[in-house]
């Protein structure tokens, strides 16, 4: 008898739920905005002149509890420079089949190269390769006035000027040729 009453109570909950308004009724036709602090897809950021902030240090990869990040650093040269300082991230990948969105990688990054956007982009697919994002999908797009690396650092500046945020100039014409940057360091 007790089990019968328990079953009736269970069906009562189910029956009552049938008449409640579903929260996801209009998804995916209508996508509500995510919360401001939402941990969405990552982004690799640039300095105002277009140089990449990532220095290929791998600290984000070491911090990741899901082993979702793969980084291969390489040396900048004066002829081919992608970031201020000695090193840049030549290969950078995030495996979204592994990522749990914890944000520890962002906290570990010493240059604020890595941040998370609000975009969740429905990170699902029917194959593994398309969920491993490389620099082509992670690097922030060039903004107006930025110059696509490789190019030299701003005249008279050091890598520390970039890290301190004192290099604020941009290439005014969005010149994408090598050596086209006209950024300047603030004193």
What residues make contact with ligand SF4 under the rule CB under 6 A? 54-60, 63-64, 66, 68-69, 71, 89, 94, 99-105, 108-109, 111, 113-114
Q: Between residues 43 and 157, which has the closer beta carbon with respect to ligand SF4? A: 43
Please state whether 145 falls in left (phi above 0), alpha (psi between -120 and 50) or beta: left
CB closer to ligand SF4 out of 163 and 182 = 163
Token digits of residue 55: 């220095």
Instruction: Please state the closest distance from residue 139 (CB atom) to ligand SF4, in A.
Output: 11
Q: Considering the complex, what minimum distance in angstroms separates the CB of residue 110 from ligand SF4?
A: 6
**Which residue, 99 or 146, is less far from ligand SF4 as judged by CB?**
99
d(CA 103, CA 101): 6
Among 57, 129, 117, 65, residue whose Cα is nearest residue 90: 57
Minimum gap (Å) between residue 111 Cβ and ligand SF4: 5
| 150 upstream amide cis, omega within 30 of 0 | yes
Is 54 annotated in some ligand binding site? yes
| Pairing, β 69-75 against β 87-95 | antiparallel
How near is the Cβ of 163 to ligand SF4 at its closest, in Å? 11
> Is the CB of 27 or the CB of 100 nearer to ligand SF4?
100
Residue 147: what are its φ and ψ, rounded to 5°? -115, 130
C-beta closer to ligand SF4: residue 88 or 183? 88
Is 118 marked as a binding-site residue? Answer: no
Reading phi first (left if > 0) and then psi (alpha if -120 to 50, else beta), residue 174 is in left
Q: Nearest approach, Cβ of 93 to ligand SF4 (angstroms)?
A: 10
DSSP state, 102? -
Distance of CA 12 to the CA centre of its chain: 46
Binding residues for [4Fe-4S] cluster: 54, 57, 60, 64, 99, 102, 105, 109
Annotated binding site: which residue ranges? 54, 57, 60, 64, 99, 102, 105, 109
């Amino acid at each position: 008898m007790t089990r019968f009453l328990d079953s009736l109570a269970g069906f009562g909950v189910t029956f009552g739920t049938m008449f409640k308004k579903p929260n996801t009724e209009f998804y995916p036709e209508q996508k509500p905005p995510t919360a401001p602090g939402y941990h969405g897809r990552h982004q690799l950021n640039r300095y105002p002149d277009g140089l990449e902030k990532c220095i290929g240090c791998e600290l984000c990869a070491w911090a990741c509890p899901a082993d979702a990040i793969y980084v291969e650093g390489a040396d900048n040269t004066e002829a081919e420079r992608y970031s201020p300082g000695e090193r840049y991230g030549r290969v950078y990948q995030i495996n979204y089949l592994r990522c749990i969105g914890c944000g520890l990688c962002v906290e570990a990054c010493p240059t604020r190269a890595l941040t998370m956007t609000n975009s969740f982009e429905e990170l699902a697919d029917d194959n593994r390769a398309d969920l491993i994002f490389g620099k082509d999908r992670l690097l922030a797009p060039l903004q107006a006035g930025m110059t696509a690396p490789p190019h030299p650092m701003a005249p008279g500046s050091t890598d520390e000027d970039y890290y301190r945020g004192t290099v604020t100039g941009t290439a005014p014409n969005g010149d994408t040729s090598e050596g086209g940057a006209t950024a300047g360091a603030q004193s």
